[in-house]
Amino acid sequence: MNENKGKEVISNSIDNNQPQNSKPVKDNKEMKKKLMRMMLIIVGILVVFLIIILIFSLLGSGNKSYEEIEQDLKNAAIEYYEVQSGLLPQEEGETVTVRASTLADAELMKPLSELREGENCSGRVEVTKVGDNIIYTPYLECGDKYTTKELYKAVLEQKIVTSGNGLYDLNGEKVYRGDDVNNYVSLDNDIYRIVKVTSDNKLLLILNEVDSTMSSYYDDRYNPAKKFNSGFNDYRISRVNDYLDDLYNGKKDIKILSKNDKEKLVSFNLCIGKRNETETNNTNAIECSDVLENQMIGLLTVSDYMNASLDTNCKATTDKSCQNYNYLRLKETEWWLLTGNAANDYEAYVVKSNGYIDINTTSGYKKIRPTIMLNNNVMIKSGNGSASNPFILK
CB crowding 351-378: b at 16 or more within 10 Å, else e? bbeebbbeebbbbbebbbbbbbbbbbbb
Q: Tell whether 352 and 221 lie within a shared domain.
A: yes
pTM score, two decimals?
0.79
The CB density around residue 276, as the number of other CB atoms within 10 Å, is 13
Whether residue 119 contacts residue 43, with contact meaning beta carbons closer than 8 Å, is answered with: no
Q: Are residues 325 and 222 in the same domain?
A: yes
Name the DSSP letter for residue 228. Answer: B
> How confident is the model at residue 62, as a pLDDT?
58
Measured between alpha carbons, how far is residue 267 from residues 215, 314, 316 in Å?
23, 30, 30
- DSSP letters, 333-394, are --EEEEEEBSS-TTEEEEE-TTS-EEEEETTSEEE---EEEE-TTPBEEE--SSSSS-EEE-
User: Is residue 74 in a domain?
Assistant: yes
Tally of domains within the chain: 2
The answer as to whether 6 is a domain residue is no
Q: pLDDT truncated to tens, each residue of the chain (394 aa)?
A: 445 544 444 444 444 554 455 555 566 777 777 777 888 888 878 887 777 666 555 444 558 999 999 999 999 999 999 999 999 999 988 999 999 999 999 999 999 999 998 899 999 999 998 878 898 999 999 999 999 999 999 999 999 999 999 999 999 999 999 999 999 999 999 999 999 999 999 999 999 999 889 999 999 999 999 999 999 999 999 999 999 999 999 998 889 999 999 999 999 999 999 999 999 999 999 999 999 999 999 999 999 999 999 999 999 999 999 999 999 999 889 999 999 999 999 999 999 999 999 999 999 999 999 999 999 999 999 999 999 999 999 9
255 Cβ contact partners less than 8 Å away, ≥ 6 residues apart:
189
Does residue 16 belong to any structural domain of this protein? no
- Asked if residue 99 belongs to a domain, the reply is yes
Domain end (from 113, 148, 183): 148
Residue 176 φ/ψ, nearest 5 degrees: -80, 135
Is residue 218 domain-shared with residue 103, that is, in the same domain? no
What gap in Å lies between CA 167 and CA 304, rounded to an integer? 14
Q: Are residues 140 and 247 in the same domain?
A: no
Give the closest residue to 193 by CA, choosing from 394, 376, 369, 380: 369
Beta bridge partners of 53: none
Both 228 and 115 in a single domain? no
138: Cβ–Cβ under 8 A, 6 or more apart, which residues? 70, 71, 73, 74, 77, 123, 124, 125, 148
In whole angstroms, give the CA distance from residue 136 to residue 141.
17
Note whether residue 125 is domain-resident.
Answer: yes
**339 touches 288 (CB < 8 A):** no
Q: Which among 240, 297, 278, 243 is positioned nearest to 357, based on CA atoms?
A: 278
For residues 136 and 221, membership in a common domain is answered with no
Same domain, 361 and 276: yes
Residue pair 195/326 in contact by the 8 Å Cβ criterion: no
pLDDT for residue 5 = 47
Rounded (5°) CA angle 241-95-202? 50
pLDDT number for residue 9? 45
* Cα–Cα distance measured from residue 148 to residue 125, given in angstroms and rounded to the nearest whole number: 11
Q: Say if residue 239 is in the same domain as residue 348.
A: yes
Residue at 196 is within a domain: no
Task: Using the Cα atoms of residue 192, residue 197, residue 198 and residue 200 in order, give the sign of their dihedral.
Answer: positive
Q: Which of 248, 275, 243 is nearest to 367 (CA)?
A: 243
Q: Which of 157, 163, 160, 185 is nearest to 174 (CA)?
A: 160
Q: Where are the beta strands (DSSP E) in the chain?
A: 95-99, 122-130, 133-142, 146-147, 166-170, 173-177, 184-186, 191-197, 203-207, 215-217, 268-271, 291-295, 335-340, 347-351, 357-361, 365-367, 371-374, 380-382, 391-393
Residue 282 belongs to some domain of the structure: yes
Among the three residues 131, 148, 165, which one is the final residue of a domain in this structure?
148
Work out the number of other CB atoms within 10 angstroms of the CB of residue 323.
21
Per-residue pLDDT, 23: 56
Tell which of 148, 169, 185 closes a domain: 148
Domain that holds residue 100: 66-148
pLDDT attached to residue 258: 95
Claim to verify: residue 138 and residue 234 sit in the same structural domain: no
Which amino acid type is present at position 209? E
My answer on whether 212 and 304 are in the same domain is: yes
Look at residue 321 and tell me if it is in a domain: yes
In 3D space, the residue among 243, 249, 187 whose CA is nearest the CA of residue 213 turns out to be 243
Query: Is residue 229 domain-shared with residue 358, that is, in the same domain?
Result: yes
Please tell me the number of Cα atoms within 13 Å of 163 on its side-chain side: 0
Nearest to 318 by CA among 283, 347, 276, 281: 276
Co-location of 141 and 218 in the same domain: no
> Residue 92: what pLDDT?
84
What pLDDT is stored for residue 60 in this prediction?
45
Rounded CA-CA distance 166/308 in Å is 10
User: Distance between CA 195 and CA 308 in Å, rounded?
Assistant: 8
